[in-house]
Amino acid sequence: ATRAFPVIVLTAEGEERVLNEAEQLATDLLTKPFSPSKLTARIAALLGEGGGSLPSTPLPPAANKPRPSSP
């Protein structure tokens, strides 16, 4: 069985291509500048929605995922 997990994308403001791709894949998106307290609040909210815990099995490194091709 698969288990969904939240993904928060952190990016610089104005990176339109990254934002478009990230919106399709991410649970949440924060653009710079953001405060550590805002990031912490978003993480807490996302963990609360998922039962308040992280996956019990390690996740594979993101480097092993195929990257979308650039136009």
Q: Half-sphere exposure of residue 68, counting CA atoms within 13 Å on the CB side? A: 9
| pLDDT tens, residue by residue, 7-56 | 888 877 666 666 676 667 778 878 888 888 988 888 888 888 655 455 55
CA quadruple 33, 35, 36, 41: dihedral positive or negative? Answer: negative
- The domains of the chain are located at 23-51
Output the pTM of the full model: 0.51
